[in-house]
Amino acid sequence: MRNRFAMEGAKEGRHLMSSDPCICLGDDCLAAREAIRKAEHIVMLVDESHFGVPILRCVRCGQHFLSLFCERVDWADSDDPQTRVVVPVSEDEARRLQVANVAADENAILEIVANERRFLYHDMPKGAPETLAWKTRLLFIPGHD
């Protein structure tokens, strides 16, 4: 029953409040990635072909996320390495990121999201198996073109 009510609340703009962690923050990386893919786009801070930075909000629990999509062009083999980092942020951090000029200075992200935290890391390197894992460390911005 809880899932049905959670979905109904999300459709009506309400978010599930519970002491249980939402799927978007759960240990199952695949389930978390899928939940985050379904998240509401709040704002696009940077919209470039090889670097995208939206702020998202989980439709189930209301958790805000900063998402970093980073891609390097592989001119030789067309096997472009891509990395996506999705980090939970507070509402205050989400507001501060929206006010910062992230498009002009991506280091503003690291000034606002400065402390060590857990984030979902999805790396798709050239010619190698992809990695999907939760990591806990200081946030970094992967290389991009």
Q: Identify the CA nearest to 127 among candidates 72, 90, 54.
A: 72
Say how far apart CA 39 and CA 55 lie, in whole Å: 10
For the cut 90, the answer to whether the pLDDT of residue 7 exceeds it is no
Confidence at residue 20, expressed as pLDDT on a 0 to 100 scale = 74
Model confidence band, residue 101 (pLDDT cutoffs 50, 70, 90): very high
Quote the pTM value. 0.84
Whole-number average pLDDT of the chain:
88
Confidence at residue 74, expressed as pLDDT on a 0 to 100 scale = 87
Say how far apart CA 145 and CA 133 lie, in whole Å: 24
**Residue of higher predicted confidence among 114 and 93:** 93
Confidence at residue 12, expressed as pLDDT on a 0 to 100 scale = 38
pLDDT > 70 in the chain, percent:
87
Helices (H), the chain: 2-11, 29-37, 91-99, 107-112
Confidence at residue 134, expressed as pLDDT on a 0 to 100 scale = 98
Confidence at residue 4, expressed as pLDDT on a 0 to 100 scale = 33
Range 20-49 average pLDDT: 96
**Residue of higher predicted confidence among 73 and 15:** 73
Whether 26 and 60 have beta carbons less than 8 Å apart is answered as: no
* Tens digits of residue pLDDT in 102-116: 999 999 999 999 999
